[in-house]
Amino acid sequence: MRILIAEDDLASRIFMKKFLSKYGDCDVAVNGLEALDAFLAALKEERPYHLICLDVMMPKLDGLKALKAIRDIEQQKGIDGQRRTKIIMTTALNDKITITNAYDAGCEAYAWKPIEIDKFIIVMGKLGLI
């Protein structure tokens, strides 16, 4: 499995990479723009990511905007249904508007920080990733 972790907080990045490395090859991005570049590069290589973990609050391009951009690109390229990359939003914010917007923009799941490993594994299982 190819995994992209987009996270601006260093400690969170280290934690997510250490945790998710058990399940696949992890790349990291420190902002939404880098995440979008990595997503496009993976598509170009025809080795798309199976899972992208997108932090909501990130510099340059926030997680919600990156999510919308990824879904737009997939739509333009005719990537739909199960072929779409699974996206789990991660955030320390839990306001209703952000959550609603994330689901409207097409994320598969939403994980509140601090990430609970057991719950995260269950969600990956439900998404058919493991």
Nearer to other proteins, 33 or 112 (CB): 112
Q: Rule CB under 8 A: is residue 93 a binding residue for other proteins?
A: yes
By the rule CB under 8 A, 9 interacts with other proteins = yes
95 binds other proteins (CB under 8 A): yes
Asked whether the beta carbons of 59 and 31 are under 8 A apart, the reply is yes
Burial of 10 (0-12, 13-18, 19+ CB in 10 A): exposed
Residue tagged 């996206």 (tokens): 87
Among positions 4, 12, 26, 63, the unique one binding other proteins when judged by CB under 8 A: 12
- Neighbouring CB atoms inside 10 A of 66's CB total 28
Interacting residues with other proteins (CB under 8 A): 9, 11-16, 18-19, 57, 92-96, 99, 112-115, 117
